[in-house]
Structure 1
Amino acid sequence: MTAPAKAYPLVSVRNLSKHYALRTWWGGKASVFRAVENVSFDIRPGETLGLVGESGSGKSTIGRAVTMLNPPTLGTVAFEGTDLATLSPLAMRGMRARIQTVFQDPYAALNPRMAVGTYVAEAFKLHRPDMRRLERREAVAGLFERVGLDPRFAGRFPHQFSGGQRQRICIARAIALKPSFIVADEPIAALDVSIQAQVVNLLQDLQDELGLSYLFISHDLRMVRHLCQRVAVLWRGRIVELAPSDLLYENPRHPYTRRLLGAVPVPDPAAERARLAAARTEPESSPSEGGELAEVAPGHWVAGH
């Protein structure tokens, strides 16, 4: 699955930083926590960019900053050439029909006191107030069928569904307004292994059908390789390697990327012992290796080289 050739990126992130002021006590000196620092990347139409890294590296922070749920401290996020930070609240509200998010915990994303059909229909109430009730009901039924759910389930409540079904409901809400770009923030992390592949296949089918672009945030490196055309590796709030998926997995250049890939379990005792031995000899990354990205091969960018 390849992204269609376009002259412009759908999403262009430049020098994005997110800082948080730390609380001070007893007149102490104010300090700043730099969660994300100087991150840049592009996402082309129809492309899936994977964002990987250990917990606390800033992946979800980038996802929320890109969608302006938690605007960046510095830098720009351009969607189809428009800087989102310059939009008024009303204009940004209209833009949200084109930019959606699928969160990690589907149960927390749903209103436990609201029928799931009503939850999905809220997108139409907010952005298409001209739709009649019958039209909304038919649209919700069509969305349920598209994500593999029985439309008769629309009157049920979140606690009556499994985790995989809840995530399908959240995906139905995300695609209701036919967006162009979706941030999938670890959408399979809270699901059983047997369900994860079904949700990923659904995301791929929707991408092929609707021409969606994804920023796919995940810990699952094998799933990222399966789903994403390019992968960005995040370390301490900075991108340290960015490359096409196959190139990054077959020839990782940054020490942190090699250690991250070396942590993936292998279902073979001999190969697992070799993996652990190689991981022990892999040198630790240093702060100097989180600097500016340099292109070491066509499309392969590495920090500190």
Structure 2
Amino acid sequence: MQAPGYPIVSVRNLSKHYPLRSWWGGKASVFRAVEDVSFDIRPGETLGLVGESGSGKSTIGRAVTMLNPPTAGTVAFEGVDLATLSAPAMRRTRARIQTVFQDPYAALNPRMSVGNYVAEAFKLHRPGMRGLERREAVAGLFERVGLEPRFAGRFPHQFSGGQRQRICIARAIALRPSFIVADEPIAALDVSIQAQVVNLLQHLQDELGLSYLFISHDLRMVRHLCHRVAVLWRGRIVELAPSDLLYENPRHPYTRRLLGAVPVPNPAAERARLAAANASPAAPIAEGGDLVEVAPGHFVAEPTGGAAA
């Protein structure tokens, strides 16, 4: 699964488990949210992470950034295992690893002007910056994400959802990171605004050389934005391939089922698709095992039991 070129992020055998409470004296158990996940992201690349709700996508995003450290496995950033870093070293590294969350309003402080919110990054990581320098830097960031610098004195409730997400993106790029986890950054936005935000992310990637882990339910946007796609099912990656190859030739039964659920923008074709789906009940999917390379750069999980669709 090694991406061409030196990976900026290398995840190996990442697992995240949560202990479950024991009731009435019973034996405590463990919920395995993510199990044995591995992937690389190279400089300037966008890796898409897709799967149904509850499959572990956001858990992986939080584990990769060490917001919620993994139970097992390693996350290496620029060749350094993040788990081995001291608190001061991790603080410095966080300037180069940022996150854009799904709900921009929840990410913003409602009692802080958006200009001060963006400037907090400089106060924390560049305490030597003067106030005028910070204000100029914030104005430049607002212009870069398509907002008027004069909006810096306003508060989050005075902005639309798309504008709030642009503010969150401005905060994310303030310290010139090299890697951003975009955790469903367009899910809470109107359809007409989603494309604008995705185009902004692409523009910033070209301009700043960013690498993304792009988590999303929107399979069409994933194909448009991502270079490679990893399909997650029950906390495991079951298929990983270049975007066009995965969409044109999905090999795993779950991937085929996931892509088959995408609505078709043609009423007649959509009715035919739904009729065919109803006529053929979905067979159970086998548990996934180790990933095997079935074509150059195309990895599929070997079934370990059960039936294949």
Aligned-residue offset at 1:20: 0.1
2:83 aligns with 85
1:178 aligns with 2:176: yes
Residue 200 of structure 1 corresponds to which residue in structure 2?
A: 198
* Counterpart code for 1:116: V
SS of residue matched to 1:291? strand
Q: Does 1:246 align with 2:244?
A: yes
Aligned to 1:223: 221
Residue 289 of structure 2 is aligned to residue 284 of structure 1? no
Counterpart position of 2:111: 113
CA contact (8 A) 2:122 2:129 kept: yes
Deviation of the 1:304 alpha carbon: 1.4
3-state SS of 2:293 partner:
strand
Mapped contact 1:19–1:34 kept (Cα < 8 A): yes
Name the TM-score, length of structure 1 as normaliser. Answer: 0.96
Cα distance in structure 2, aligned partners of 1:142 and 1:224: 29
Verify: 1:11 aligned to 2:14, yes or no. Answer: no
- 1:71 deviates by 0.2
Give the one of 110, 120, 131 matched to 1:122.
120
Q: Deviations over 1:129-174 (max 9, x none)?
A: 0100000000000000000000000000000000000000000000
Deviation at 1:272, TM superposition (A): 1.3
256 and 240 in structure 1: CA distance in 2 versus 1, 3 angstrom threshold: same
Could you say what secondary structure the match of 2:55 adopts?
coil
CA contact (8 A) 2:253 2:285 kept: no
Distance 1:129 1:93 in 2: 14
User: How many residue pairs were aligned?
Assistant: 300
Q: Specify the SS of the correspondent of 1:304.
A: strand
Cα deviation for residue 277 of structure 1 reads 4.0
What is the SS of the residue equivalent to 2:74? strand
Provide the C-alpha distance between the structure 1 equivalents of 2:33 and 2:247, rounded to a whole number of angstroms: 26
- From 80, 101, 125, the equivalent of 2:99 is 101
CA distance in 2, matches of 1:296, 1:226: 24
Q: 1:151 corresponds to which residue?
A: 149
Aligned identity (percent) is: 88
CA contact (8 A) 1:164 1:191 kept: yes
Residue 60 of structure 1, aligned match among 46, 58, 61: 58
Tell me the C-alpha RMSD between the 2 structures: 1.2
Contact 1:102 1:187 (C-alpha < 8 Å) held by counterparts: yes
Q: Is the 8 A contact 1:256 1:285 kept in 2?
A: no
Equivalent-residue separation in structure 2 for 1:174 and 1:53 (angstroms): 25
Cα deviation digits, residues 240-275 of structure 1 (max 9, x gap) = 000000000000001100010011000112321332
Aligned match of 1:37 = 35
Counterpart of 1:272, as a letter, is: E
**Conservation of the 8 A alpha-carbon contact between 1:21 and 1:31:** yes
Distance 1:277 1:241 in 2: 27
Query: How far apart, CA to CA, are the structure 2 residues paired with 1:69 and 1:282?
Result: 40
TM-score for the superposition, normalised by structure 2: 0.95
SS of aligned partner of 1:72: coil
Displacement of 1:285: 4.3
Is the 1:118–1:154 contact (alpha carbons within 8 Å) kept by the matching residues of 2? Answer: yes
Matched-pair contact (CA < 8 Å) for 2:47–2:226: yes
Which residue pairs with 2:298 in the alignment? 300
What letter matches 2:88 in structure 1? Answer: L
Q: 1:154 to 1:193 in 2, by over 3 A?
A: same
Residue in structure 2 matching 1:262, options 260, 263, 271? 260
Answer yes or no: is the 8 Å Cα contact 1:37–1:237 preserved in 2. Answer: yes
Runs of 5+ consecutive residues of structure 2 not aligned to the other structure: 304-309
User: What CA distance in whole angstroms lies between the structure 2 residues aligned with 1:297 and 1:279?
Assistant: 28
Deviation at 1:276, TM superposition (A): 2.3
Letter of the structure 1 residue corresponding to residue 102 of structure 2: Q
* Residue deviations 1:82-139 (CA, integer Å, cap 9, x gap): 0001111111110000000000000000000000000000000000001000000000
Distance 1:120 1:200 in 2: 20
Runs of 4+ off more than 4 Å: none
